[in-house]
Amino acid sequence: MTPRIAVLGAGHAGPAIARVAIAAGYPVSVAASGDPEKIALITSVLVPGAEPRWAADAVRDAGVVVLSIPLHRFAAFDPGLVAGKIVIDAMNYWPPIDGVQELFDDPRYGSSEIVQRRLARSMVVKTLNHIGYHELEEELRPAGAPDRRALGVAGDDPGAVAVVADVVERIGYDAVRLDGLREGRRLQPGGPVFGVSLSRGQFERALGAEAA
Ligand SMILES: NC(=O)c1ccc[n+]([C@@H]2O[C@H](COP(=O)([O-])OP(=O)(O)OC[C@H]3O[C@@H](n4cnc5c(N)ncnc54)[C@H](OP(=O)(O)O)[C@@H]3O)[C@@H](O)[C@H]2O)c1
């Protein structure tokens, strides 16, 4: 199955995610916060093959939605837009960039748990947040390559996790499934695998060492 992917966010991360998804054979739409006319040029240059659309149109016929918007914009994001959808949460909470966000400033919860609570009618899966946008194309490898990088995948809905793990594998990474969205905290900034290029074995050992 090759679901259509809607990438919300046309800044740094969004176009890179869209490009690797297109290269993997997915149909991809890209949306920013407003009129697709505003991102038509950037999309045609940076993400050839992707369709610039209004967010609502992009999401409507998508099987997977990627949220790659700055977290400080999330409070204004309409949960109804992605109701019933599998949502990849590629966002990070960076107070130096996002400012202190009351919604996310609760150490008891990972940022994706807070995203899931707000997007109560969506199936949120955390991944793609812990790899730099510039690395995403440089480090992808075919399955079985000895230097293939691993990426964590964390979610509470097993069906959604399976779909997203398949996306991660097909774009060129080994998908390491974590035990639920709560474990996604370990993929966050400051965690043992954030921004680090690790093979599956190294990734699993890094998580295991932290848990020990
Ligand atoms: N940079 C990286 O290497 C990297 C890697 C992995 C994950 N991330 C995460 O990805 C997120 C975005 O980072 P970035 O560096 O790409 O940010 P960025 O360059 O500032 O991109 C912002 C984009 O988000 C769009 N946007 C804002 N609100 C939106 C909404 N409600 N619906 C649709 N689009 C919306 C903006 O559109 P307008 O211009 O129309 O407002 C703009 O296109 C952050 O949470 C970051 O932590 C970043």
Q: For 164-188, what is the mean pLDDT?
A: 98
At residue 24, the pLDDT reads 98
DSSP code of residue 84: T
Give the CA dihedral 123, 128, 133, 137, nearest 10 degrees: -110
Token duo for residue 28: 């991809």
Mean pLDDT for all residues in the chain? 96
Residue 109 Cβ contacting ligand 1 at under 6 Å: no
| pLDDT tops 80 at residue 210 | no
pLDDT score for 171: 98
**Residue 41: which region, alpha, beta or left (left: phi > 0; alpha: psi -120 to 50)?**
alpha
Amino acid identity at 29: S
Task: Return the pLDDT at 209.
Answer: 81
Residue 202 CA neighbour count, 13 Å, CB half: 13
Q: How far is CA 199 from the centre of its chain?
A: 19
Is the shortest distance between the CB of 92 and ligand 1 below 6 Å? yes
* 104 residue type, one letter: F
**97 or 160: which leads in pLDDT:** 160
Which residues, in sequence order, are bridge partners of residue 154?
126
Q: What is the CATH number of domain 5-211?
A: 3.40.50.720
Average pLDDT of the segment spanning 163-177: 98
Domain ranges, ordered by start, for the chain: 5-211
Residue 183 pLDDT greater than 80, yes or no: yes
Mean pLDDT confidence for 85-90: 98
Q: Which residues contact 41 (CB under 8 A, 6 or more apart)?
A: none
Q: Distance, CA 209 to ligand 1 centroid (Å)?
A: 32
> Are 121 and 79 a contacting pair, CB within 8 Å?
yes
CA 153 to chain centre: 9
Q: What is the pLDDT of residue 1?
A: 84
Q: Which atom of ligand 1 is nearest to the CA of 90?
A: 7
**Residue 75 reports pLDDT greater than 90:** yes
CA-nearest residue, atom 29 of ligand 1: 33
| CB 112 less than 6 A from any atom of ligand 1 | no
CA 201–ligand 1 middle distance (angstroms): 31
Instruction: Kindly give the distance from the C-alpha atom of residue 205 to the centroid of ligand 1, in angstroms, as a whole number.
Output: 31
Q: Partners of 86 in the beta sheet? A: 64, 123
What distance in angstroms lies between residue 93's CA and the mean position of ligand 1's atoms? 12
Q: Is 132 in the pocket of ligand 1 (CB under 6 A)?
A: yes
Whole-model pTM over 0.75: yes
Q: What's the pLDDT tens digit per position in 42-72?
A: 999 999 999 999 999 999 999 999 999 999 9
State the Cα–Cα distance between residues 53 and 39, nearest whole angstrom.
Answer: 9
C-beta 49 within 6 A of ligand 1: no
CA 53 – CA 28 distance, rounded (Å): 10
Q: How far is the CA of 197 from the centre of ligand 1 (A)?
A: 22
Q: What is the pLDDT of residue 212?
A: 64
**Cα 149 to Cα 20: distance, rounded to the nearest angstrom:** 14
72 C-alpha to center of ligand 1: Å? 10
